[in-house]
Homo-oligomer: A and B are copies of this chain.
Amino acid sequence: MADVAEKTERKIVVAVDEGDESLNSLTWCLKNVVSACPNYKDTLVLLFAKPPRVVYTALDGTDDDAGYLFSSDIIATMEKYSSDVAETVIEKAKRACENVDIKVEVMVEKGDPRDVILEAVEKLKADLLVMGSHGYGLIKRTFLGSVSNHCAQNAKCPVLIVKNLK
């Protein structure tokens, strides 16, 4: 086990979402940064940002006009859908890591992906953040701006951005 003891530990956070770009960024990272580097003992953290509940509850007015749109049934359905998406994304990402000798951890947090990602990177003292360049849906991007640009400028570690290329 002397060999293992000599390795430098790294924590790599991969921000995954429902787009295939994030899965591509994970695959690229596994091939180019993780599996080819025997000098390092890496832990990969698959990070998924779930939409914050406040998106629904802030609009969940008590007046009758809004009530039919945001009934507790609908909120429950949206929560269930969100959890299913998280589960599917994480499962897919885990499968991509199967053939790589690496410790994989999962982190699912609610909130604006920009905040979730930056907070996770800081909390975990990540050595590298990996993400796609788009992701997080067209509508969210329109409101939030580019998540990857924001993270590249503000994350407290190096950021690797992998795009889907034609």
Contact = CB atoms under 8 A, between A and B. Distances in A.
A142 interface: no
A99 B160 CA distance: 24
Contacts of A148: 152-153
A37 B32 CA distance: 8
Interface in A152-166: 152-153, 155-163, 165
Given A32-B10, A38-B38, A158 B156 contact: no
B156 A165 contact: yes
A59 interface: no
A152 B165 contact: no
B157 A165 contact: yes
Contacts of A32: 10, 33, 37, 40, 127-128, 158
Given A32-B33, A160-B161, 20 more contacts: A25-B158, A28-B158, A32-B37, A32-B40, A32-B158, A33-B33, A33-B37, A36-B37, A36-B38, A36-B40, A37-B37, A133-B153, A148-B152, A148-B153, A149-B149, A152-B152, A152-B161, A155-B163, A157-B165, A158-B160
29 contacts: A10-B32, A25-B158, A28-B158, A32-B33, A32-B40, A32-B127, A32-B158, A36-B38, A36-B40, A37-B37, A133-B152, A133-B153, A146-B149, A146-B153, A148-B152, A148-B153, A149-B149, A149-B153, A152-B161, A155-B163, A157-B165, A158-B160, A158-B161, A158-B162, A158-B163, A159-B160, A160-B160, A160-B161, A161-B161
